[in-house]
Amino acid sequence: DRLAIARVRATNDEIYTLAVVCDGVGGSESGDQAATLAITSMIAELCTQRIRVSVETIAQHLLRTADSQVRSALNGRGTTTASLFIAASTGQCAAANVGDSRVYSWSPERQLQQVSVDDTVENELKLIPGDHEALLNARGLKGRLSQAIGEEGRSVEDLRIHVFSRKDFPVGVLLGSDGLWKASRDFETVVTNSANANDVVRRTVALANWNG
C-alpha cells in the first residue's frame, strides 16, 4: 500500500489538496512500483493544471494519467487500485475510485457509510440476471478485481472511473485499502463509535495493525 497527502499550487494558480491511497495488486510482479508510480504521476499532473475545471473532471483526469503512466512504465507487470480525494481552495471537492480500495463518508451524526462500489467480478455479475454463486466459487472469482490501474489489453479510455461529489460526504471522507476494511468484521463498528476525525484515523490504523 502507498499513500500521499499533498497541497499544491497548480499552474492555473488554484491551490489543491489531494489525498490518495493506492494498493498494488497482489500477485502482480511489481504491484508496489505500480502504486508508487500512480501516486507520483497524479501529483505531478495536478501541479501542471493550466485551466480551471471542476474537481470531478480533474479527479478523472488524474486517474487516467496514472493508468497510462503505469501501463507505459511496467507493461502489465504491475497494477494497482486507487482511491483519491481532491479539494480546491474555492471549496469544491470530489472523490474517485478504481479497484477495491474504498471511499467512505463519515460524520459523528451519520456515522460511516461506504460511498464507492468495489470493482470486482462479483459486483459486475450482479448486473446480469441469474444466480452466479456457483460460477464464482468454481472459478475462484470471488473478490477478484474486474479492473485496476495499469492493466494491459485495454486503452485508457476503457477505464471506468467512479466519481463522487461533495453531497456524498458532507462532513468527512475516509480512504482505505482492503488492508483496512478486510482487517476485521468489526471495522465499521469501531469507526462508528469514534468521537472525532482524529479518533477515526487512530482506531482504523490500530485495528488494521492488530489484525496483521
In sequence order, what E strands does 148-190 have? 162-165, 172-176
116-138: b or e for each residue (b if 16 or more CB lie within 10 Å)? bebbbbeeebeeeeeebeeebee
Rg of the chain over all Cα atoms, to the nearest angstrom: 17
Query: Which amino acid is located at 14 in the chain?
Result: E
Q: What percent of the chain stands above pLDDT 70?
A: 89
**pTM, full prediction:** 0.89
* pLDDT, tens digit, 9 for 90 and up, residues 171-210: 899 999 988 888 777 788 888 878 888 998 899 888 888 8
Q: Give the pLDDT of the chain (212 residues) as one tens digit per residue.
A: 899 999 999 999 999 999 999 999 977 789 999 999 999 999 999 999 999 999 999 999 999 999 999 999 999 899 999 999 999 999 999 999 999 999 999 888 767 889 999 988 766 666 555 565 655 565 555 667 889 999 999 999 999 999 999 999 988 999 999 888 887 777 888 888 788 889 988 998 888 888 88
